[in-house]
Structure 1
Amino acid sequence: MALEQLSEVVQRCQALSENAYTTEDYDVFTVTGRTCIEEGNSLQLLSIVLDEKNQEIVRCMGWNLLPPLIQVLLKKEDKDLPHCLAILNHLIEVCRPKELLIGLLEQLEHDDPDTIAESIHLLLSPLQKVLLGLGIRKASSLGMALSSVLDQLCKLPVPGTKEQEEDDVFSLCRCCSEISAFIKPFVEEVVQNHSRGKSSEGGQMMGDLEKALPHKEDELRTELLKFCMQVLSRVLLGVQLRDQDTLPESPLRDFASSILLSLRSIGESLPGLVHRPLLRHRQIPGFLEEEVRYPKESLACAAHLLLCTICRLICFPPPVYSLRANLEHVHLLLSRTEESRIQKGLELYEKSLVRVEDCGLTVDLLEIKSFISVPQALVNVMTICPHQHLRSKGLKVFQMSIDKFNTEAKYKFFLLMLKISNHSGVEGYIIKNIKNQIDLALKVGGSNPWFEGLHLLPLLRSVLRLPDGPETDLLQYMDRIMESLNLLRYLVIRDKVTENQTGIWTEMYKIEDTFLKPLRVGINMSRAHYERELLITKEDKKSKAKESSISVSVGEEQLPNMTSDTHIQALHSALHTFDMIESVLVRIEELIEVKENA
C-alpha cells in the first residue's frame, strides 16, 4: 500500500516544477517512503530513488528518508542493509547540503554509548561530504557539526586502564581516529587559503613562534580553532595518556598529536599556546574574545601534552620563563577536584621544575602571585586530596619546588608559608626544611647570611611560638610543635654559647617567655583536662550495665559515635602525646641549663 502511494506521488510530481510541490506531496512522500523502509521494501525504494526522472523530487524531498535509513544501518542485521546504504549514498550525492546537514545532525543525538559510537562511525563520512559541498560558506555549518560531534564524543566513557585502551572497549579510540580524519580536509583548506593570502600579499613565511595571524579573520579557521580548544578541555584533559614505553601504539595519544598538529597547521604557535599567560593583552585580530579563543583549561591541557606527553612538537624556551608561564596552568589544574586534573597539574609542575637548576630561582620571583598561589594549591593537594598517591606526589613536588629557590628566596618562602599554610603538618615540614638549611649554613664552608645571625632571628621567632599561647590545642598542632622543639634542641646542641652563630643564645630569654613556658603551661592544662575526661569516662562505663555510645566532635565536625573503650583508648593516646612533647621539652631545658652554666 505504502509503495503504491509513493509511486503515485512520485509520478504526479514528475510533471511539476519544484515550486509546484505541495505540503501534502512532501508529507505523502515522507510517510510512504519511511514506511517502505520499515516494511522491508528498500529495494523497490532504491529503484525509485535512482530513477533519472525522479532526481528533482529526490533532491527536494529525499533528506526526509534519513531517520529510518540510519536506524536500519545502525542495527546492521537487516537483509535490506546494502539497499539502504545505497539509498543513503545517493541521497548524499543528490539532496541539498543544508537539509542533509540538519537531517544527519539530528541522527547523531543518542545517549547510549554503543549507539553513539556507531552513529559517529556511520555519519562522519556523509557529514564530511555534505560540508565539503557547501563551498566557501561552510564555516558556520562546520562549527555546528563539530559541536554536535563533540557533544556526543564527550558522552563516551574514557578508558581507565592500558588494557581498556588497547581493546577500545568503549569505542572512544576509534571515534577519535575518525574525527581526526573528518577535520583533515578542512584544515588543509585553511592552510591553502592562508598560503594564497600570503602569496597575494607578498609576505614572508611565518615561523613557529609568536607570528601574527592573517589580518582578515578566516571563519573556517576560527571554527577549527574553537573545536580543537574544546577537544583539549572536554576530552583530552580527562584522559590519562600513556607514554610509548607503556603503550607503544595509542590511538588516544595519536589523536592528541593530531589536534596539536591541526592547531599548528591553521597558524597557531604551539609554544605561544603554552606561554599564553605571559603574552596576554596583545592585540589579536579577529572577532573572538581571548577567553573564548584560548580557554584556560584548554591551554593547561596543551601545556601538559607538549611538556609531559608529546615533547617532540616544540623547542623548549629558557626554563625559568617556561616555569613562569606554566605556573598558571598548574594552579588551574591543582585547584580542581578531579583526579585526572590534579595528576596532570602535578606532572606539569614537576616537568617544569626539573628543567630549572637547583637554587636557580631568585627572590624577586616571589613577588609574582603564582609563585605563592601554586604552593598554596599544592598544600591543599597534600592535605585534603582523597587519593594517597597524589598526596605523596604532591609532597615530592613541593620539596622539589623548595630546592629550586636560592637561599634568600628559601628564607622568604619559609616565612610566607608559615603565615599562610594553616596546617600543622605542612608547618612542621617547613620547619624541618629550615633546620636543614641552618645545618648547611653551620657546616665548614657553608656560611650564608640568611640562615645564621641576625637574619635568622625573625624566622626563628615565627617558628618558636605557640599559635594560641597556653590555650593552643596541642593535639591539633602536634606536628608543628614537635618539629619546633626538634629545631630548638638541634640549635642548643649545635651552636655554642660563646660562638652564637645562629643568635639563638641572644634570643633565648624571649624563647623561654614566648614558647617554652607557655608550652609547659599548655601541657599541664591539657593533661589535667584529659585526665579528668578519662576518669569520668571510666566511671560512666562502670555505672552502666552495657557499653555506652559516646558522641565526639572535632571542631565543628561531628564524628561517628564511639564506644567507651574506644573513647578511653583515644584519651590514653592524647595523654601519651603530651608525655612525648614534655619529654623533649624537659631535655631542651636541661641542655639550656648545662650550656648556660658552662
Structure 2
Amino acid sequence: MDQSVDVVDHVSSLLDGEKYKEALTVAVDEKYAKQFKDNCWDLISVIVSKVNNDTNTLKPSLYGTCEQFLSIIVQKAVPEEALLEFIEQIEVSKNDAQFSIILQPLQQLLLKLTLKRGRSLEWCLNAISTYIDNIPVPEYELEGKQRLLMECDDNIRRINKVYSLLPPFYCPFISEVMNDDKCRPKQIISAFLISLFGKPLVYVDVDPDTNKQSETRACTKFLIADICTLLKNPLKFLAYIEKCSNESEKTKPKNEKYDENEEIDPYDHKEKVNITTLSGLFYALLSGHFEIPDTALPLVYSPEYLVCTVLLCGVHLLSFTEYGPLSKGIYLCKEILKKYPENILSSKLTMVHYNLGKNLMTVAIYSMYQSLRKESVVILGTLVNKFDYKGRCSLIKYMIDNANHSGMIGYAISLYKNSLDEAFKEPELPATFKDSQLMAMLKKICHLPHGAESDLVELADQIITSLNLLRYLVIKDTGNVTNFKNNFVAIETSYLEPLRVALKMSKAHYEVKLKDIEEAKNNPKENINVSINVGGNVLDTIPDKNKKEIILSALNAFHLIEGLVARLSECINLNKQKPV
C-alpha cells in the first residue's frame, strides 16, 4: 500500500461515496493491517461521526457497514486503547444513534478485558451516566389523562429509547457477578442501576392510573427487576438515605476529578448514589406502582425505622416543582404512611415529620397541579392523625406558624377541632386540650395580625374556622372540663371585640367601593377609577365587572363572619348564666 495514503481518510471517503463493500475490504485486507491497527483510535471517531438519528432509516447500508466496521476494530485494536476511544465517543456523542452504535462494541471490549474489567467497567458506566444525565426533560402543565400526550414528546421518546438500550449492555456483567456479594464490579453495576432512577427518569410520569402502558413504565419495570435480582435486598440502601439527605454541599463536588489511584467505594460516588436517585429507587420499590418480588422486601426492618427513613425521600421529592418528582413524592408518602401504626407517641416526632408537613403545605398552596394539591392536603391530614393528641397538636401548631395562608391555617384549625371532638369521647379529656395548653392553642388560632385593621378578606378562612371552633367548644364543653368558660373575657377582649370593629370598617370600606363602581357605571363620562386592595395587592387593572364580583364576594364573607360572631356571642352569654 502507498504509505502516502491515509487509511482513515481513505475509509472516510469510501463511506461518503457509498462504497461500503470496498470500505469493509480495507478493514480485513492484510496489506492495510498495520496502518489499520495503528489508526484504530481515529477510525472509531470517523466511523461514529457518519451516524445520525435518521441513518438507520435513510441509509441502512451505511449504518450496517459502520456496525461491522466497529466490530472488526474491536477484534484488531489494542483493547485498552480502543476502550478509551469508545468511552470518549460516548461522552461527545451528538445523537442517540451514535450512542447506540457504540454500546455493542464497547460491551465486546469489556468482555475481552477479563482481568482489568473492574475499573474499565466503571469508566464505561460513568460515561453512559453522563450521557443520560444530559438528556433534557420537558415539563408541561398537563394533568390526568392529558399526560398521555407526554409519550409523544421527543425527549420522552429519547429517554425510552436510551433506557431500552441499557439492559442488553449490562446484563452479561450482572450474570458474571451474581454469586459474589463483595466483588467490586457488582457494586459498580448496582451504583449504576441506582443512578438510572434519578434524572431524567425521576421527572417522567409512570403513574399506572394515567400511564399504565407507557414505554417509560416498561423500562422502569426492567430496571426494578434487574436491581432486585442483583441486590437481592435493595432495602439495604435505607442506610444510605439519611447519609445522603444530610450530605453537606461542601463535600466533594459532583464534577470533582478523583485520583485514579484512589479506591473509592462505588456507593460513595455522589453522582450515582444520592438522595435524588435513592428517592427514585424507593418510589419504585414502595409506592405500590410496581410489582416487587416478596423476597426483595424483607420484613426485618421496624416500621418506625422504615417509615422515618423513606419519608426523607418523600420530603426530597416534594421539594421539586415538576409534576414527575412531585407525584412520586405524593404516592410514596401516601403508601409509606400506611405502614405506620395509629396513635404514635409524640416523643417519636422528628424533623422529618415537620419537614414533610412543610413541603406538603407548600405543594397544597403553590403547586400548579390541582390533583397534587388535593392529594397533599389529604396526606397532611393522614400525617397529623397518625400521632397521639400531643403529637397532633405539635404538628398543627407548626402548620399554623408556617403556613402563611388563611386556607391552610383554616385546615389546620379543622384538624384541631376534629381531634378535640375525638378526645371528648375518651374516658378522660387529655391534658393537651385543657387549661393553659388549650388557651395557648386558641391564642394562635384566634389571631388578628393587625388587630382591627387586619385584612378580613385575606383572613376569611382562618376566621370562619376559628369561630366555628369557639362555638363548638362553648356548646360541647357544658361541664367546663377544658376550663374554657373561665377565659370567655379574654377571648371577648382579645379577639371578638377587634373582630367586630374590623368587620364594621371592612363592610363600610367595601360598600363605598361598590357604590363607586355603580356611580362609574352610571356616569361613564366622569371616568371614576376604582381600585381594590386585597392581601396587599392593588387590583386596579381588572374590569369593573370583576371588581364588583370581588367586592360582593367579600361582603358575603363579612356577613357570614358577622353571623358566626353573633351566634358565638349568644352561646357565650347563655353559658355565662350557667354555674361553673
Counterpart in the other structure of 2:129: 150
Find out whether 1:35 has 2:22 as its counterpart.
Answer: no
Q: Which of residues 346, 362, 384 is equivalent to 2:345?
A: 362
Q: Which runs of 5+ in 2 are unaligned?
A: 140-145, 248-262
1:580 aligns with 2:560: yes
* Letter paired with 2:456: L
Q: Which of 37, 41, 45 does residue 23 from structure 2 map onto?
A: 45
163-172 or 507-516, which deviates more: 163-172
Secondary structure, counterpart of 1:232 in structure 2: coil
Instruction: Specify whether residues 597 and 225 from structure 1 end up closer, same or farther in structure 2 by C-alpha distance, changes over 3 A only.
Output: same
Whether contact under 8 Å (2:195, 2:271) holds in the other structure is no
Distance 1:411 1:164 in 2: 42
**Structure 2 residue 162 is the aligned partner of structure 1 residue 183:** no
92-101 or 70-79, larger mean C-alpha shift: 70-79
Query: How much does 1:293 deviate?
Result: 6.1
Q: Deviations over 1:369-421 (max 9, x none)?
A: 11211101111111111100000100111111122111221123223322232
CA 50–526 in structure 1, closer or farther in 2 if over 3 Å, else same:
same
Structure 1 residue 63, shift from structure 2 partner: 4.4
Alpha carbons of structure 1 residues 251 and 588: separation in structure 2 relative to 1, 3 Å? closer
- Residue in structure 1 matching 2:297, options 293, 305, 314: 314
The residue type equivalent to 1:150 in the other structure is S
TM-score, normalised relative to structure 2:
0.82
Determine which structure has more spread, i.e. the larger CA radius of gyration: 1
Structure-2 change in CA distance of 1:383 and 1:163 (3 Å): closer
Q: Partners of 2:540 and 2:492 in 1: how far apart?
A: 40
Q: Tell me if the contact between 1:333 and 1:344 (Cα under 8 Å) persists in the aligned partners.
A: yes
Cα distance in 2 for residues equivalent to 1:466 and 1:31: 81
Alignment partner, residue 344 of structure 1: 328
The 3 A distance-change label for structure 1 pair 161 and 514 is: closer
1:556-571 aligned within 5 A: 561-571=541-551
Distance in 1 (alpha carbons) for counterparts of 2:553 and 2:376: 29
Unaligned residue ranges in structure 1 (runs of 5+): 1-6, 10-23, 196-205, 207-212
Moved more, 487-496 or 183-192: 183-192
| TM-score normalised per structure 1 | 0.80
Correspondence for 2:388:
406
Contact 2:74/2:105, CA 8 A, preserved across alignment: yes
Greater relative contact order: 1 or 2 (C-alpha under 8 angstroms, separation 6 or more)?
Answer: 2
- SS of 2:430's equivalent? coil
Deviations 1:338-363 (A, max 9, x none): 1111111111111111111222x211
Aligned 1:251-400 pairs, distance under 5 A: 251-258=218-225, 260-261=227-228, 264=231, 270-278=234-242, 286=264, 289=268, 291=270, 294-308=273-287, 309-310=289-290, 311-312=292-293, 313-316=296-299, 317-359=301-343, 361-366=344-349, 368-400=350-382
Amino acid at match of 2:218: P
TM-superposed CA distance for 1:583, in Å, is 1.0
Would you say the 8 A contact 1:548–1:563 is kept in 2? no
Q: Is structure 2 residue 487 aligned with structure 1 residue 504?
A: no
Residue deviations 1:566-591, cap 9 Å, x none? 32332232222211111111111122
**Alignment match, 1:3:** none
**Identity value in percent:** 24
CA shift at 1:304, angstroms?
A: 1.1
Letter in 2 for 1:184: C
Equivalent-residue separation in structure 1 for 2:556 and 2:325 (angstroms): 40
1:232 is aligned with what amino acid? F
Shift of 1:152: 3.8
In the alignment, the residues of structure 1 paired with residue 148 and residue 550 of structure 2 have an alpha-carbon distance, to the nearest angstrom, of 44
Identify the residue that residue 504 of structure 2 maps to in structure 1.
524
The code of the aligned residue for 1:472 comes to S
Structure 1 residue 462 corresponds to structure 2 residue 441? no
Aligned partner letter, 2:104:
S
CA distance 1:406–1:98, change in 2 (3 Å): same
Counterparts of residues 209-220 of structure 1 (less than 5 Å): 218=184, 220=185
Q: Aligned-pair distance for 1:524?
A: 1.2
Structure 2 residue matching 1:136: 3-state secondary structure: coil
> What per-residue deviation string (whole Å, max 9, x for no partner) do you get for residues 175-194 of structure 1?
323312212233445556xx
Instruction: Tell me the amino acid that sits aligned with residue 372 of structure 2.
Output: L
Structure 1 residues 301 and 259, CA, compared in 2 at 3 Å: closer, same or farther? farther
Moved more, 500-509 or 244-253: 244-253
1:234 counterpart = 2:199: yes
Q: Specify the SS of the correspondent of 2:196.
A: helix
SS at the partner of 1:88?
helix
1:182-210 Cα shifts (integer Å, max 9, x gaps): 12233445556xx4xxxxxxxxxx7xxxx
- Distance change >3 Å, CA 101–CA 172, structure 1 → 2: same
**For 2:212 and 2:60, how far apart are their aligned partners in 1?**
44
Alpha-carbon distance in structure 1 between the residues aligned to 2:500 and 2:60: 89
CA positional deviation for 1:475: 0.9
Match of 2:419 in 1: 437
